[in-house]
Amino acid sequence: MATPTTTELGAFAEGEVPPALEITFTDFEGAAVNLTGFSNLQCNIQEELAGTAGLGTGSIVVSDAPNGKVTYTWVRADMITAGEYTLQAWVDNGINYYASDLYTYSVYDGPGDAPT
pLDDT tens digit sequence for 61-94? 999 999 999 999 999 999 988 999 999 999 999 9
pLDDT at 1: 52
50 has a pLDDT exceeding 60: yes
Average pLDDT of every residue of the chain: 91
Q: Which CATH architecture has domain 6-108?
A: Sandwich (2.60)
Using DSSP bridges, classify how beta strands 102-108 and 97-99 pair: parallel, antiparallel or unpaired: unpaired
44 has a pLDDT exceeding 70: yes
d(CA 65, CA 24): 10
pLDDT at 6: 95
Domain layout of the chain by residue ranges: 6-108
